Amino acid sequence: MAMDSKLSKAVFQKLEQDLIKLSSKPRAFNVHRFRTGTRRLQILLGELSPDLNRNQRKLLKLLGSVRRRAGKLRDLDVQLGALRSLKVAREPRRKTQLVNQLIELRARQEKKLTREVDRDAVREIWKRLDRARKDFQPSLCRDPLTVARNMLKRIDPQLPITEPLLHRYRILGKRARYAAEFAGNLPETQQFIAQLKRLQDALGDWHDWLTLTKNAGDHLGDLRESALVAELHNVTGAKFRNAVTVLGQVRATLVAEPAPGGQTLVRPAARVLRKSASAA
């Protein structure tokens, strides 16, 4: 399945725009757009292109540094949203205390991000983006859908489901989705992406609550000391079980390859998924 040249070329232009917005107003939406745009370019150049030249390697290194800094801001935005949505009758003051602490932490992270995307940094990234755009040749790229499926095959389906394994699926699922998007708006591609989005939503939701629970424990004590922390542990446990269930439902179809005649060869899901879900 060939690369969609229009989609691939648009990545460079959108990322230039997102970089400007991030440097001027690091709001939640701008942070999210920049991070996803950077990930897409990373997949385009690092996974789908045949090789990286010196400028592309330097560009990805610069963008990676900013993305990691922006990621800390994004995590706090999501945690604040989750915490505010949590309805708890006990310890309302502790909830307010935790919200305020996260807001203060976000302010500090925003200052660090603003320093990292100063005028000189933006200018250099722009210059390298423009050069990478001119050097990029879509016709030489690998098949996006095949690359996406192979990413997910890097994990042994017989491994028991643990938190570290869910983390691996969360990261690979995002990368595979961004790769598949470059295949264009075809039925086979859209079905694959829909499954990835479902998995990404479940794993991302679990990870966001897990991170919030760890932060709450650091500020308020463990679950024996705080009813709020205990409630967050309960929510995170439910999110974990849902993530395991969704993974079990979609994993087989994600690595399936189309057979001759347009049908899909689906491999049976590993039994270990059901065992892990019931034991969680």
Q: Across all residues in the chain, what is the average pLDDT?
A: 87
For the chain, percent of residues with pLDDT exceeding 90 = 64
> Binning pLDDT at 50, 70 and 90, where does residue 277 land?
very low
Please give the Cα distance from 41 to 34 (Å, whole number).
11
The confidence score (pLDDT) of residue 258 equals 57
| Structure-model confidence comparison of residues 147 and 87, the more confident one | 147
User: Predicted confidence band at 55 (pLDDT cuts at 50, 70, 90)?
Assistant: very high
**36 contacts 123 by C-beta, under 8 angstroms:** no
Question: Domain boundaries in the chain?
Answer: 1-142, 143-280
Contacts of 124 (CB under 8 A, 6+ apart): 62
pLDDT band at 223 (very low <50, low <70, confident <90, very high): low
Provide the token pair at 86: 């949590």
For residue 275, pLDDT over 60 is answered with: no
> Are 88 and 228 contacting, i.e. CB atoms less than 8 angstroms apart?
yes
Question: Which pLDDT score is estimated for 1?
Answer: 59
The pLDDT score that the predictor gives to residue 158 is 83
Residues 6+ apart with CB under 8 A from 261: none
Q: Tell me: the pLDDT tens digits for 4-52?
A: 788 888 999 999 999 999 988 888 899 999 999 999 999 999 999 988 9
Look at residue 90 and tell me whether its pLDDT is greater than 80.
no
DSSP-based three-state secondary structure for 200: helix
Long-range contact set of residues 103-108: C-beta below 8 Å, sequence gap at least 24: 105/76, 106/73, 106/76, 106/77, 106/80
The gap from C-alpha 164 to its chain's centroid, in whole angstroms, comes to 15
Q: In the chain, how many H helices and how many E strands?
A: 10, 2
Instruction: Quickly tell me which residue has 């205990």 as its tokens.
Output: 230
Cβ burial of 235 (10 Å; 0-12, 13-18, 19+) is middle
Whole-prediction pTM: 0.84
Amino acid in the structure at residue 95: K
pLDDT per residue over 149-180, tens digit each? 999 888 888 888 899 999 999 999 999 999 99
Closest CA to 157 of 268, 260, 265: 268
Q: How do residues 107-146 score in pLDDT, each as one tens digit?
A: 999 999 999 999 999 999 999 999 999 999 988 899 999 9
